[in-house]
C-alpha cells in the first residue's frame, strides 16, 4: 500500500502503470542478443555435425550408403542457417545426421549379409558354369544347384533360370551369388522381374520361386544398381515409394 500510494502521488495511476509495463518490456531487449547468438551457435554446430556424419558415410561407403534425400536435407539446413532461421537449421541438420548414420548402418548390415552369403558359397564349394548349364533335368530346365541359401535351375540356353528361395535368403545375397549376378546391388533386377510375387523387396519367403534373367541391357542393369545405392530409407513389411517409382519406369 505504501508503494502504491507513492506511484499515485508522483504521477497518477496511468503513469505508474506505464512505468511498470515499460520496465517489463525493456528486460528481454537486453537478453535477446545473447539468446540469438546462443541459438546461432547451436545451429552452426548442428550443421557441422551433420556434415561430418555425411562425410563419414561417404568415405566409408563410397557414396553407396548415402540416401538420396540426405544431401537435400543437409542443403536445406545450410540455407536456413544462412537466412538466420536457426530453429529450422537445427531441425534439418539433425534429420540429415540421422539419415547419414542410418545409411551407414544399413550399408554395414548389407555388407555383413554379403559376407555370410560368400562364406556359405565357399562351404558349398565353387563350381564352373558347365556344372549348372547343360546338365540333365526335367520340365525344360537343365538342372539344379545350391546357390546362396536356396537352389537355382537354369534353362537350356542359359539366359533364364528359376531360383527357389531358401531359409534366411535376401534379394541382396541372392543377387551377390556368382551364379546369379555376382553383385549384391543388382537385386532390383530380381525385384523387377518378380514384382507380382514380392510385396516388399526386404521381405521374401522360403520356397518362393523367382525368375532370373541374365540377358539384361546395360541401361537396365545400371538403373537397378543406381536404385539399390540411392534407394533411401526402408521399412520391413511394405514397399517403399522409391521401390514403386523404380518399377513404374518399366
Enumerate residues 6+ apart whose C-beta is below 8 A from 185: 64, 175, 224, 225, 228, 229
Other beta carbons within 10 Å of 52:
12
How many structural domains is the chain composed of?
2
pTM value is 0.45
Residue 15 lies inside a defined structural domain of this protein: no
Domain check: are 90 and 60 in the same one? yes
Domain check: are 186 and 238 in the same one? yes
Domain check: are 148 and 197 in the same one? yes
Domain check: are 63 and 131 in the same one? no
Domain check: are 102 and 136 in the same one? no
Domain check: are 137 and 243 in the same one? yes
Domain check: are 110 and 131 in the same one? no
Domain that holds residue 169: 127-248
Residue 1 lies inside a defined structural domain of this protein: no
Domain check: are 67 and 138 in the same one? no
Q: With contact defined as beta carbons under 8 Å apart, do 180 and 163 qualify? A: yes
Domain check: are 120 and 168 in the same one? no
Residue 63 lies inside a defined structural domain of this protein: yes
Local mean pLDDT, 10-residue blocks, the chain (250 residues): 33 35 43 63 95 92 76 92 95 92 82 59 46 33 54 82 88 86 90 92 89 91 87 66 80
- As a whole number of Å, the end-to-end CA separation of the chain is 84
- Measure the CA–CA gap between 47 and 74, rounded to whole angstroms: 8
Residue 27 lies inside a defined structural domain of this protein: no
pLDDT of residue 12: 36
- Measure the CA–CA gap between 95 and 46, rounded to whole angstroms: 10
Domain check: are 131 and 148 in the same one? yes
Domain check: are 227 and 205 in the same one? yes
Residue 152 lies inside a defined structural domain of this protein: yes
Domain end residue (candidates: 126, 141, 170): 126
Residue 9 lies inside a defined structural domain of this protein: no
Please, what's the largest Cα pairwise distance for the chain? 114
Residue 205, helix vs strand vs coil: coil
Residue 180 lies inside a defined structural domain of this protein: yes
Residue 26 lies inside a defined structural domain of this protein: no
pLDDT of residue 173: 85
Domain end residue (candidates: 126, 154, 184): 126
Domain check: are 142 and 227 in the same one? yes
Q: CA-based Rg of the chain, rounded to a whole angstrom?
A: 30
Element (H, E) at 164: strand 160-164
Domain end residue (candidates: 99, 126, 153): 126
Q: With contact defined as beta carbons under 8 Å apart, do 182 and 176 qualify? A: yes
Amino acid at each position: 500500500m505504501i508503494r502504491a500510494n507513492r506511484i499515485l502521488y508522483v504521477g497518477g495511476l496511468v503513469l505508474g502503470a506505464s512505468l511498470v509495463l515499460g520496465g517489463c518490456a525493456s528486460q528481454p531487449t537486453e537478453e535477446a542478443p545473447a539468446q540469438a547468438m546462443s541459438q546461432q551457435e547451436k545451429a552452426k554446430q548442428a550443421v557441422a555435425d551433420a556434415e561430418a556424419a555425411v562425410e563419414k558415410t561417404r568415405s566409408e561407403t563410397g557414396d553407396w550408403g548415402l540416401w538420396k534425400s540426405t544431401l537435400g536435407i543437409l542443403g536445406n539446413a545450410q540455407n536456413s542457417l544462412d537466412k538466420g532461421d536457426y530453429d529450422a537449421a537445427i531441425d534439418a541438420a539433425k534429420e540429415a545426421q540421422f539419415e547419414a548414420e542410418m545409411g551407414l548402418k544399413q550399408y554395414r548390415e548389407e555388407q555383413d549379409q554379403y559376407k555370410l552369403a560368400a562364406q556359405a558359397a565357399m562351404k558349398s564349394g565353387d563350381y564352373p558354369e558347365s556344372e549348372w548349364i547343360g546338365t540333365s533335368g526335367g520340365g525344360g530346365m537343365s538342372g539344379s544347384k545350391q546357390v546362396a541359401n536356396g537352389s537355382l535351375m537354369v534353362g537350356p540356353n542359359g539366359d533364364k533360370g528359376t531360383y527357389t528361395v531358401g531359409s534366411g535368403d535376401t534379394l541382396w545375397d541372392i543377387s551377390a551369388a556368382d551364379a546369379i549376378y555376382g553383385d549384391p546391388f543388382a537385386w532390383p533386377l530380381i525385384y523387377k522381374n518378380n514384382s507380382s510375387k514380392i510385396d516388399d523387396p526386404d521381405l521374401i519367403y522360403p520356397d518362393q520361386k523367382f525368375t532370373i534373367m541374365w540377358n539384361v541391357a546395360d541401361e537396365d542393369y545400371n538403373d537397378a544398381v543406381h536404385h539399390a545405392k540411392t534407394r533411401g530409407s526402408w521399412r520391413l513389411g511394405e514397399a517403399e515409394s522409391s521401390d514403386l517409382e523404380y518399377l513404374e519406369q518399366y
